């Protein structure tokens, strides 16, 4: 599925994370809430809308563009056009010094690099080394054969779509 609503799911995760961090003061809880909100929205998009358009790439693309506009406009209506900023937790603030070739670099930016590498390695492992990854790859190659082997293909694709949407929300 070509999901052009990912930007809006990123935005949703960012706003939900901001609200949770503002209300609770817990940065890690804000990350989890942004992931969960975007994953739930992605799951609803997949189950309620995109599942009915399997194999219709152009239609899915147009629908996700429309959803992106609608979601972004609803969030703009709720949060207005104001800029909201959230500080990183204390343990990620300040520069890291004395690393070879890096004189002073933000601990927050280095942690983002670490998060990105860890998520990339996890997704590689998930897709290439697990049974779930095998089912995802098989479903992309031959959906009918996977269904004939007794796998609930709709569930596999719904969970995959929710994971991708959740990662967009995590990024937000």
| Percent over 90 (pLDDT), the chain | 66
DSSP state of 88: P
How large is the average pLDDT for residues 87-103? 73
Per-residue pLDDT for 119 more than 70?
Answer: yes
User: Which pLDDT score is estimated for 43?
Assistant: 96
- Find the DSSP H helices in the chain: 6-24, 27-48, 57-79, 107-129, 131-141, 143-148, 153-171
Using 50, 70 and 90 to split pLDDT, how confident is the model at 8?
very high
Name which of 118, 155, 123, 119 is nearest 139 in CA terms: 155
Question: 3-class SS at 91?
Answer: helix
Using 50, 70 and 90 to split pLDDT, how confident is the model at 104?
low
Which tens digits make up the pLDDT trace of 25-76? 898 999 999 999 999 999 999 999 999 998 888 999 999 999 999 999 999 9
Rg, Å, the chain Cα set: 19
User: Which pLDDT score is estimated for 122?
Assistant: 96
pTM of the model: 0.88
What is the distance between the alpha carbons of residues 167 and 169, in angstroms, rounded to a whole number? Answer: 5
What is the distance between the alpha carbons of residues 17 and 47, in angstroms, rounded to a whole number? Answer: 24
| Strands 102-106, 95-99: pairing kind | antiparallel
CB neighbour list of residue 41: distance below 8 Å, 6 or more residues apart:
9, 12, 71, 165, 169
User: Which pLDDT score is estimated for 107?
Assistant: 80
């Amino acid at each position: 599925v070509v999901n052009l609503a990912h930007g809006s799911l990123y935005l949703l995760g960012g706003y939900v994370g901001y609200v949770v961090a503002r209300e609770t003061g817990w940065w890690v809880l804000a990350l989890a809430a942004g992931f969960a909100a975007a994953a739930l929205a992605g799951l609803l998009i997949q189950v309620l809308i995109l599942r009915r358009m399997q194999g219709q790439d152009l239609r899915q693309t147009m629908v996700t563009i429309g959803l992106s506009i609608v979601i972004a406009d609803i969030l703009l209506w709720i949060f207005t056009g104001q800029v909201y900023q959230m500080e990183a937790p204390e343990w990620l603030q300040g520069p890291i010094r004395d690393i070879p070739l890096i004189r002073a670099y933000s601990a927050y930016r280095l942690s983002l690099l670490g998060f990105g590498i860890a998520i990339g390695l996890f997704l590689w492992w998930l897709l290439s080394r697990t049974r779930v990854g095998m089912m995802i790859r098989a479903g992309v190659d031959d959906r009918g054969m996977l269904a004939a082997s007794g796998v609930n293909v709709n569930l596999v694709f719904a969970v995959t779509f929710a994971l991708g949407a959740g990662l967009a929300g995590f990024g937000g």
